[in-house]
Structure 1
């Protein structure tokens, strides 16, 4: 449980140029202590907002805690963005971390972040929010897993987006006699030894697991239904995201083509030689696949590319090109649904299993409902979460003081900004809430300026002194 006052969190001069925070009387419920929840918790504590914080697991970390029930993590997982772009505001990753940290390093980093800002003492662990129902007056009735019911003035949901597997219905699945399961159940390539394995899906986890299958299985197959570009994690020996973002400089004399499609195509080569379909869309119109190891395994015959699955048979699969294989295991790396299971889904409009929110944060018709982390972009997420958390605090302060609340409410109700940056993202569930990171950052910066809210800096949040 967290209860702070504005005098504890802010000086009389305000924080980082902002007006002093009020003495908050309203109390909020925060759901989840993964990365998004921790960022939100830090912002609430700093602002002096009263809130209760619930995490169903026994520690912070979200999906990066491989032992948390339902976590999609697997032993070979690494960050797909580099340590140079992926850190929390004010808390860089350790210098001795590799360019792309392992899942366990990310877990440890997240926990170190929580300790550095003394956040864990605010969290009630081992308790989940089972149901949250709106009440008159923009309040919420929250039912906990303990059976207790509490009333709050607002609800902030940060439960994460990769907990609810998307399991497509494959024709013939009922007749298949092998092991058919979603990749959320996968933990280690060792479990594939001595087996013939089919991986379905070419997202980042799908290609990782395909590489595990190539190393461990007797034979591994990789089913993809469309042409993607596979982006190397290093260009010129430097982390790709850091290089493209200008965080690190290219070696002297090294020049990338202006067109990123051309750059990646030149570096990677003709994918059809490996049995993969040619890319059918521009690089920036879909979530980047940060993996070229899969191409290594395809080139060595340890992995065999296949088109879309047409149907399963009792012993294997038939593909769209008419070819057929026998396999012992079918692993569906087919993504996740962005669900809020403790809310009646009718409370929000949905598009392809994604809630439609103003700036991917605010419920338009429920003034006191906020969602953090339900957004997709080709960028590291944690700093964007911090910017989103600032929007929540901005609105919470407006609710408390009434200052410019009408103006903010009108934006939440009617503002329809185009956050795509003019990029025609793929029409798929993964991209239903996709935004262009640069466009999003620019829009949020203008919003902060409009409401006299300070920009986040590396010193916005003081670390705990004990």
Structure 2
């Protein structure tokens, strides 16, 4: 057993883990990053076993709004970069800040458990299992690794093929097939659009109605356009943006879709109107929820049916921290309950980065989370009095992260976070404890 009591263990070398590594390096706090794959990038590396990435996937937030603090995406990138470009960007981030030397690639973390004043971490590399002790642990393994695969009524009698979206990688899977996509997350509508263009016939099954946001509004990326209305009160923003979507998209029921049963901005945004194009041309046909399967036929709850060769379940993912007993965090609807999506009130040396679902670009949020984690660790290491004050702070009331939005009542939206409100809450904590140094200075400290 090896003791690393003055070090931090970061689990995962995706964007959240790398952001944490940069912040710790800037404050000269030693760390090790554990990564099960042979390279950085997390889900954005299609060669990473279990990655849900498909060849046609693009970022749903714009290049302008999405890059890491102090490290913008290249100017030559398009408004919505491809998955290959995002992976290249992440790899460039790791190289620029010289983070790779502290990453243990091809190393799987099997178990982490508390042992008195440290965390005992068991990992396996090349068949050799090692146990080490760390004072701090940051969970940054990501949320899209464990598919939510519902069982469909009658699927044992279905003659076609059923897969989860995690196993969809290329449009070649769709050719000459009648394809039904189930679910309207951003992956679901992307895959449905692929089916509309490539399949013999595409279908999209949705339980409810949704708001479909175009990726460009008046020639600008939608999030850039939306940021210009941050001065508006939320009720006015919802009313004006809802009106704009109705003007742009018209009555979606004409395409066989249901009317949304919720206000705009009260659910995770669907950044896709390409799917409407294929619905308008009949290459994609909207269907309601599935009732049951029989033979080659899928029966829907409106008494309609369709003969289908391939069903793709874009039904989301279970959030998991597989190496950690669930007792270390309280969980609600598969979401760990933490202060500011970061801090564990019962275990102050255990942190999370990247387990947040929001309506804006994520990477800058990961940087803010990393900045807070690094400063709290530094306080616990060097300033016990301040560490006690921080502990009282995170044991206090949780700030409102909703942005005065009443999100729809679903498991996915448990603890859903308004990006701007979350940024403000983290900014308040930084100011309260005097952690106001900008990212440009932090970047200089790690040699950019």
| Band of TM-score, shorter chain | over 0.9
Instruction: Choose the corresponding residue for 1:67, options 47, 61, 85.
Output: 47
1:117 aligns with 2:120: no
User: 1:416 Cα deviation (Å)?
Assistant: 2.3
* Structure showing the higher strand proportion among its residues: 2
Which residue is equivalent to 2:243? 262
1:324 aligns with 2:326: no
1:32 aligns with 2:12: yes
Q: Tell whether the 8 Å contact from 2:182 to 2:315 is kept in structure 1 after alignment.
A: yes
Which residue is equivalent to 2:112? 132
Q: Tell whether the 8 Å contact from 2:291 to 2:299 is kept in structure 1 after alignment.
A: yes
Instruction: Choose the corresponding residue for 2:279, options 298, 303, 314.
Output: 298
User: 1:463 Cα deviation (Å)?
Assistant: 7.5
User: 1:138 Cα deviation (Å)?
Assistant: 4.6
Deviations 1:116-175 (A, max 9, x none): 111111111111111111111253343435311111111111001111111112211222
User: What is the aligned residue count?
Assistant: 436
Residues 1:465 and 1:406: Cα distance change in structure 2 (over 3 Å): closer
Instruction: Choose the corresponding residue for 2:375, options 385, 394, 414.
Output: 394
Distance in 2, Cα, partners of 1:142 & 1:403: 32
CA RMSD of aligned residues (A): 1.9
Kindly report structure 1 stretches of 4+ aligned residues shifted beyond 4 Å. Answer: 463-466
Distance in 1, Cα, partners of 2:297 & 2:441: 56
Give unpaired runs (5+ residues) of structure 2: 230-236
User: 1:346 Cα deviation (Å)?
Assistant: 2.2
Which residue is equivalent to 2:391? 409
Q: Tell whether the 8 Å contact from 1:31 to 1:157 is kept in structure 2 after alignment.
A: yes
Give unpaired runs (5+ residues) of structure 1: 1-23, 248-255
Which residue is equivalent to 2:361? 380
Q: Tell whether the 8 Å contact from 1:204 to 1:291 is kept in structure 2 after alignment.
A: yes
1:426 aligns with 2:412: no
Residues 1:316 and 1:296: Cα distance change in structure 2 (over 3 Å): same
Which residue is equivalent to 1:435? 417
Give TM-score, length-normalised by structure 1: 0.90
Counterpart of 1:132 in 2: which secondary structure?
Answer: strand
Q: Tell whether the 8 Å contact from 1:140 to 1:154 is kept in structure 2 after alignment.
A: no
Which residue is equivalent to 1:170? 152
Which residue is equivalent to 1:347? 328
Distance in 2, Cα, partners of 1:259 & 1:376: 24
Deviations 1:162-197 (A, max 9, x none): 111111122112222211110000011111111111
Which residue is equivalent to 1:96? 76
Instruction: Choose the corresponding residue for 1:56, options 27, 36, 39.
Output: 36
Counterpart of 1:26 in 2: which secondary structure?
Answer: strand
